[in-house]
Amino acid sequence: MNAARSGYRVFSANSTAASTELAKRITERLGAELGKSVVYQETNGETRVEIKESVRGQDIFIIQTIPRDVNTAVMELLIMAYALKTSCARNIIGVIPYFPYSKQSKMRKRGSIVCKLLASMLAKAGLTHIITMDLHQKEIQGFFSFPVDNLRASPFLLQYIQEEIPDYRNAVIVAKSPDAAKRAQSYAERLRLGLAVIHGEAQCTEQDMDDGRHSPPMVKNATVHPGLELPLMMAKEKPPITVVGDVGGRIAIIVDDIIDDVESFVAAAEILKERGAYKIFVMATHGLLSADAPRLIEESSIDEVVVTNTVPHEVQKLQCPKIKTVDISLILSEAIRRIHNGESMAYLFRNITVDD
């Protein structure tokens, strides 16, 4: 396919070679070449982007994977989008497999909803459409003033379970907290497997964080309006850690959307091992694997961590052979083709449930 003649081009906004691997896979599947551009950081730390070919009147797809330096990647994307906008591109579609700041999508105390800010910045820079995968909260799509296609990685992870885990019929799908129960239930129903939920974990979940309703702060000798007696709220107290469901003599498969700090996954694996699970897998779409994650996984009871290549993690794989990768470039390349040709995206969401 001659991409230039068919009216679209694919660019990579990453300045590091490791982060362009997914973009190369996508363009190979499309039979296209990456657009000619230069993205780099100057000695003073500023990001510079130069487009080296005409994009006038074309559909432009910017593939941006998010490495550890999140803020630099965001600036690369914004500057490239603006450069393409001022170069008279017809449509500018961002292909952002892992959307950064997606965990900051709720108000916390006197903080801010950073995900909404980023959505506004992308629109201002010139993006007209976004393709992403497994947003941390599906409601994030409402932050944007243009279309968002939130693809799912679950078909690829389900296929991995069926093809790469021997005796997967003897497995049970595990949610490491009640918050993840819906996702785990969706996997369990499609694989015709049992479900288990870990309840009472030590760390706080997002719902337990302060969200501003405790402000203003308590002040000594504060005056209270006469007759104002609000009901006393009892503090939350987590029960002892329990596993709801039978995992004895089974393969335990923990599913989630993001695996970043792995302490909670390691703790869940220890609990499952104590309850009799003889093999433990962790499946997630986005493998951020920050800090000492590879070392902690290697020293834990986890047998294998399976993530997609939405985020570059080759260095972590070298540090920990338990980390495996599932390629999702197929669905991203097909999404690009369908959007450019004006075809329906429904095929990419067949048999996808709301809870995925």
Would 9-151 and 155-202+239-326 be classified into the same CATH topology? yes
Instruction: Please tell me the predicted confidence (pLDDT) of residue 116.
Output: 96
pLDDT 10s digit of each residue in the chain, 356 long? 444 445 899 999 988 887 899 999 999 999 999 999 999 999 999 999 999 999 999 999 999 999 889 999 999 999 999 999 999 999 999 999 999 999 999 888 888 999 999 999 999 999 999 999 999 999 999 999 999 999 999 999 999 999 999 999 999 999 999 989 999 999 999 999 999 999 875 545 555 455 555 555 555 555 556 666 778 777 777 777 889 999 999 999 999 999 998 999 999 999 999 999 999 999 999 999 998 999 999 999 999 999 999 999 999 999 999 999 999 999 999 999 999 999 999 999 988 877 77
From the list 13, 140, 144, the residue with the least C-alpha distance to 73 is 13
Distance CA 99, CA 111 (A): 20
With 0-12 CB in 10 A as exposed, 13-18 as middle and 19+ as buried, what is 27? buried
- Residue spans of the domains in the chain: they are 9-151, 155-202+239-326
CATH no. for 155-202+239-326: 3.40.50.2020
Beta bridge partners of 241: none
Any idea which architecture 9-151 has in CATH? Answer: 3-Layer(aba) Sandwich (3.40)
Report yes or no: 328 and 133 within 8 Å, Cβ to Cβ. yes
Task: Give residue 218's pLDDT.
Answer: 55
pLDDT reported for residue 216:
53
- pLDDT at 226 (0 to 100): 67
Q: What is the dihedral of CA 158, 163, 165, 170, to 10 degrees?
A: 80
The secondary structure of 120-133 as a DSSP string is HHHHHHT--EEEEE
Give me the pLDDT at residue 5, please: 42
Query: Is there a contact between 174 and 197 (Cβ–Cβ < 8 Å)?
Result: yes
> How far is 286 from 313, CA to CA, in rounded Å?
10
Task: Please state, in angstroms and rounded to a whole number, the distance separating the CA atoms of residues 146 and 48.
Answer: 26
pLDDT at residue number 234: 74
pTM attached to this predicted model? 0.88
